[in-house]
Every structure is written in C-alpha cells, then in structure tokens.
Amino acid sequence: MTEVIPMASGNPIIRQRIQVTGVVQGVGFRPFVYATAMRLGVRGFVANTSEGVLIEAEGSPEAIEGLREALRNDPPPLAHIDTIEATEMAPVEDTAFAIHHSHATAGENTPVPPDIAICADCLREMFDPADRRYLYPFINCTNCGPRFTILRELPYDRPLTTMSVFPMCPACEAEYNDPLNRRFHAQPISCPDCGPRLFLKPGALEGRPALLEAKRLLRTGAIVAIKGIGGFHLACDATSDKAVLELRRRKGRAGKPFAVMARSLADVQRYAKVSEDEVRILNSSEKPIVLLDRKPDAEPLSEHIAPGQTQLGFVLPYSPLHALLLDEAPLVMTSGNRSDEPIARENNEAFERLAGLADAFLLHDREIHVVCDDSVVRVFDGREMPIRRSRGYAPLPVPLPLTSPALLGAGGELKATFCLARGRRAYISQHIGDMENLETQAAFERALEQMRRLFRITPEAVACDLHPGYLSSLWAKRFAEENRLPLVRVQHHHAHAASLMAEHGMNADDRMIAVAFDGTGLGTDDAIWGGEFLLASYRSFERLGHLRYVRLPGGDSAVKKPYRMALAHLHAAGLSWDEDLPSVRACPQNERALLQRQLSQSLNSPLTSSWGRLFDAAASLIGVRHEVTYEAQGAMELETLAAQSNTTDAYAFDLEPQEMFLVDPAPVWRGIISDLGNNTAPTDIAAKFHRGIAHLIAKGCALARSRTSVNVAGLTGGVFQNALLTRMTLDALNNEGFEVKIHRVVPANDGGLSLGQAVIAASLLPEVSL
C-alpha cells in the first residue's frame, strides 16, 4: 500500500479529499469510514466511485490524521488497499458526515471483490428461530455473499447486479440504509419476504419443503443438481459407493477425484488429518477445496471418491444453501457439467445439459451473471499452493512489476484462464476449463466480456500460446484480426516462467533460472517441450538445458496409454522390452510390433522432452498405471506411492554438460528395472524416482548458475503441483544456496499461463507495432 501525504495546513479546521483504491467496494468500507468519522467528529462524506472510494473529510488536523491512520492500519478485514491519496481542499463547513450515492468516474475501475463465504454472524442468524431470516438460504451481509458472479457493471450497486429484479421490502430497505447496520448497502440483501426463492424440479415444491425433499433424495442415493453461487454442482451421498459410482457413470468421469463437502471442521477431521494452517484456510473467507491427507483409521467414505489417492479434497459450506443441505453425512460436490464441458449457469441450461445426470434439480431464481467454479489448493509450508484459482480469489488483481498497456493474455488449451492487464494490475479470470470445444469457448467469451466492462479495459494487443492449433490461439488470432490488434505469440514455458516472476514482483531487468516441467508445450524447434531449464527474463529466454528428446509414439495415443511412453523410453535407452516388465506386459503383442516400427522409422512420433511423459513412463514401468482417464493420473498415483516410503535413496540421472546440457534418464530406467528384479517395494521405487529428480534439478541449476551467475531458481509447470517433489527439490536447492521461488498466487499449471503471456507482451510492446 502506498500513501501520498498532503502539505500540513495551519488552519484549525481543514478539509481533505481522500481517494482510496484497491478492493474497497462490497466489503463494508463506507460503513467503516462513516463509523470512524462519527467517532472522531469528522464531517463530510464518503462515496463509491468507479476508481474506488472517495472521502471528503473536514475537521481538526488531529481528527483527519486519525481517519487516515484508521484507513492505513485498521480497514475492514475483507478490504485490500492499494493507495491512499490525500489533497488539501478549502473547508465548506459541513455539519455532518454522510454516505453519498455512488457515481461513475472516468478513471480506471476499482478491483471487484470475489464471492465471499457465509460469515459467522449470518450463519448464527440463519439457525436462530427468533431471527426473521431463520433457515433462509440467501442470507448475506456486507461481510459475505455473492459479489463477482452477480455483478454486471461498476460501481458495485444493486441496480447493476442480478439482484435488481428483487425490490427490497421495508425491513430490508431500513437495514440497507442504516450506516450502522451490518447490512448497510449489502447489495444482495434480501429476506423470505422479498428475495430469491428456492424450488425443486420435477414437482412444485418451494422453499423449506423443497430443501427437505432434496435432502431426503440425497440420503436415499439420488443425484441432485444444485444451483449455487457461481454455477451448478452435482451432489450425492459421499458415503454411498452406489451413488458415487452412478455419478461417475453418468458424468463420464472414470477416475478423477471428486471433492467432498462436509458440514463442519469436526466432520472433516473424522475423515482427514488437518493441520492448523489447513484449518485456517478451510475456514477462510475464500473457503477453497483443500487437499488433505486421509486418516488411515477414518470413518468410511466411498472408496470411489478418489481411487488410488491418499488425499481427499474437502470444502466447508460457503453458501447458506450448502449449510442448510449438509447433515451428518458429507456430500460429493462436483462441477455441474458433463466431462469436458463448462459448468451450467442458468436453470433452463441445466435442464438441457444435465438431463440424464441428475435425478432432481434444486434451483433458485437469482441469476448467475457469470460462472465461477470452486478453487482448489494444497497447503505447503503453511500457505496456499494454488491448483485452481477461481471462486474466492478471482478476479482479485495481481500487482504487476512493470507498467502495462491495455492487453489480453488468452491463456492455453488446458485449465484455461485469460488475463486483462493495464497499468500496474493484472486481472486473471476465474478457471474456465479446457478449451477443447465451442461450449467452453462461449463461457470464455462471456467471462471476458464481463471483465472487460467491469475494468474498462479495451485491449491494445493480444498475447497467446506459440502453438497455432490451440483453440485459445485460434480464438486470439481471430480476435486480433477482427479488432486490428497486434498478436504476440509466447512460448509456453517462457510464459510459465514469467507468471512465476510476476507473482513474486521480480523487476523488468531481473533474470531467473526457470525449471519448467510439465506435460506439453510447443517449443521454438517445433518439438514438444516439457523438461526445460531456462534463463528467463520477461523480454526473452534462453534454453540452457532439457530432458533428452524421446519419441512420442502415436502422439496423443501415448498420452492416454503410458505404457507406450515407457516402451519409447526403453527404446531410446537401448533397453530391451523384456516380457517381465509391467509396461511390456500391458502392451498387446500386435501393438508392440507397430510401436517398434513407429519408433525405429519415426512414424507419427514427434520428439518430446516432456517431464510429464517421463512420469507416465515411470508409472507404467513400475506397474502403477498403464492407461489414464484424466490428466496426470499416473503422476498423482506415483506421488501417492512415494509419500508412503521412508527411503532416502535416489536414482541418478546423467547430466551431459554440453553448451545446451542434456538430461539422460537411461540410468534411472536401468535402476528401476534392477529394483523390479529384486522385488523392491513399489513405494521405495517411486520415492527414489522423486528424489532422483530433485537431485537432478539441483545439479542442473548449479550448472546453470556457474554459466550465468544467476542465483534465483524458480519451479513452475504442472509437475510442481506435486507437493512431495516440490518439497524434495526445495530442500536440494536450498542446500545449494539458491533463492527459490514457487507459485503462491497463480497455479503452477496452465492456469497461470495467461498472466505470463500478458507480462511478456507488456515488456515487448515497444517492439510491437501498434
């Protein structure tokens, strides 16, 4: 936070114009200013503007300084102040302090608060039989409730939200207009007499009967589509194998883990181990899904919630409707969509798209303006390590280390987000999904249009991934051509590195040794990269080293069938396809002949340095996973195995110190084959594989440092969602004396690409013809 201090005045009564920027709307800021002014005897007014909050304050110099001190040191808990600018004005002899209506201004729009989980006060009132909002599923106040997903335009006022169609009753209006009431200017304020209504389909049940019937259906094994704050969920009883398996069958989601919502922290602790830091994040106003270690002696949940995993994703109720739905049994709460589609937003859309998936629909008539899926985090060294940045976090801005023109980063193909940047702020969208179909593209465009309006950003340039075939790249090219804008194509792993540098506030001239490990990204040589050591700045990068290329036989077929990658790596290492090896046994005999031909003649077998595919090969060679049904399945199961081992041994990669050094995994394959022959426990083999990678990264970074004199190392790319590998690698790099950076604000996976694209484009725009 920065503050501009005015010149001191000699007058006994002074007046100052105070402009506050940051997340200061929809968080109870004006009532806070009003109460503080009343306490200090300050006169004047406070109002929302498009740029933030405007205060004109008149009183003694001590009182005005007291107001500024309160702004600096004691703002509302949900506020995030960027700047406080105060200028002297002539006193006008106000006799009171007032809250004025919001008004639009011509400057940059203020950041928008995200949706905020239900607060303790509203939760207490909702379960108080004497309260007029008893059991009301849309209770909220200035400290909680929907924000981003109901907002059409700024300023954040009720007529510009989807609550505009619900006129307030006299009781709500009185609360809304009372500056000392917790619901003063709470834009979604409502009650059973004037607010949204709950109903169940099929049938005609409304209100409390609809809720009770939905709960009964869930208890008896039904699948219910539930309209929430940012979209629909599909819910079922998390203790019922039958219900969970049926949900998997209908949704077309064979093995990918489901999230579980539990009634309370005590209920979560029945099933999972929860540290103090994990408790804090579970209970935070963001309330993300938090990945937690299962308790070995836990009460039974369906084994089909997260097959092959020792972690479960838990979330606490973040809306009043959730809190009313939850009983003793936890619920699976998964995105309301078919696999590979965006989540449903509107009631009629849900009837159409979720027909055949849900047995019933628990709906309401408050419109969701834009969808926002649940966020997912791991807790690492006491802080969030984001897996999916969405509800509760988006669209909070990321401060930029350089000044950016108005531009758009279009993101990647998987885990798509976009980024709108201008000045010193980057606004990263909520999680959109995989850009693999027109439905997701439509959701992308709707979210983009909303954020362009909210933040008044008209892009002057567009950045996209280097891969010309990505749907996001094709969309960006078309958008740039239609609007006659320059298009900046950004190499995938350079974008990963830049996103990490930007979230850590590294300067324009700084450089970092970026270890960018992931599944796929087009390289500048047209090969598929993914095991990269880069010397990165915002403006450029140099490829210092990489995993030795291996063939990807059949392209995408090898991604879905890791045994193909295992055989490709054995072939590259000159190792025979021994029938005793699990990956060889998994490959049908006739397919082996085809693979042999593809590899020897380089047929439909592009070159790759992907570390994600290396994990796939290891998972198959060890016998963990030969075919996958979702991204990184083999790697996740390998991490699960490795976490159960106590060995400190490690396999050794060869590092060939050429001008561009090469990492050769052949010794690792020989070590795994030897251990398989000696009946070494798969847990120990998996752990040795992880530790070997950590040692290799430290060795590669040390070599890079000796050549570049750069002592900052950054870990980025989807491989570093693996907490065990990240822990081992951090320890190894710290032992080598490196300053190490990992992701804390945006995901290490492709959800962070759009930020990296935007900051790279901003650094290059002087060279781009506008």
> What tens digit of pLDDT does each residue of 688-712 get?
999 999 999 999 999 999 999 999 9
| pLDDT of 770 | 38
Query: Does the pLDDT of residue 559 top 50, yes or no?
Result: yes
- Scanning 377-470, the segments in alpha helix (DSSP H) are 438-455
Alpha-carbon distance 627 to 629, whole Å? Answer: 7
Mean pLDDT of 603-608: 95
Alpha-carbon distance 20 to 272, whole Å? Answer: 43
pLDDT digits (tens, 9 = 90+) for 273-283: 999 999 999 99
Mean pLDDT of 208-212: 97
Q: Which two tokens stand for residue 504?
A: 């850590």
Closest of 470, 517, 533, 498 to residue 764, by C-alpha = 498
pLDDT digits (tens, 9 = 90+) for 466-486: 999 999 999 999 999 999 999
pLDDT band at 766 (very low <50, low <70, confident <90, very high): low
Alpha-carbon distance 486 to 768, whole Å? Answer: 7
| pLDDT of 105 | 60
Least confident of 155-159, 385-389, 625-629, 657-661: 155-159
Whether residue 13 contacts residue 58, with contact meaning beta carbons closer than 8 Å, is answered with yes
pLDDT band at 77 (very low <50, low <70, confident <90, very high): confident
Least confident of 21-35, 617-631, 749-763: 21-35
Sequential DSSP letters for 302-369 = -TTSSTT-SEEEEE---SHHHHHH--SS-EEEEESS-TTSPPP-SHHHHHHHSBTTBSEEEEESS--S
Mean pLDDT of 145-169: 93
Alpha-carbon distance 430 to 345, whole Å? Answer: 14
Instruction: Round the average pLDDT of the chain to a whole number and report it.
Output: 94
| pLDDT of 386 | 98
Closest of 62, 16, 17 to residue 40, by C-alpha = 62
pLDDT band at 581 (very low <50, low <70, confident <90, very high): very high
pLDDT digits (tens, 9 = 90+) for 92-114: 989 999 988 776 665 567 788 89
pLDDT band at 8 (very low <50, low <70, confident <90, very high): very low
Mean pLDDT of 557-577: 97
| pLDDT of 131 | 98
The residue to which tokens 């979230």 are assigned: 503
By the 10 Å C-beta count (0-12 exposed, 13-18 middle, 19+ buried), 728 is classed as: buried
pLDDT digits (tens, 9 = 90+) for 446-472: 999 999 999 999 999 999 999 999 999
- The DSSP H or E segment spanning 244 is helix 241-251
pLDDT digits (tens, 9 = 90+) for 617-646: 999 999 999 999 999 999 999 999 999 999
| pLDDT of 4 | 46
Mean pLDDT of 177-183: 90
Query: Does the pLDDT of residue 85 top 80, yes or no?
Result: yes
Alpha-carbon distance 343 to 350, whole Å? Answer: 9
| pLDDT of 180 | 84
Mean pLDDT of 206-225: 97
% of residues, the chain, pLDDT over 70: 97
pLDDT digits (tens, 9 = 90+) for 499-547: 999 999 999 999 999 999 999 999 999 999 999 999 999 999 999 999 9
Q: What is the pTM of this model?
A: 0.94
Whether residue 370 contacts residue 148, with contact meaning beta carbons closer than 8 Å, is answered with yes
The residue to which tokens 């082996």 are assigned: 592
Query: Does the pLDDT of residue 10 top 60, yes or no?
Result: no
| pLDDT of 103 | 66
| pLDDT of 217 | 98
Query: Does the pLDDT of residue 6 top 80, yes or no?
Result: no
| pLDDT of 51 | 84
Mean pLDDT of 655-672: 96
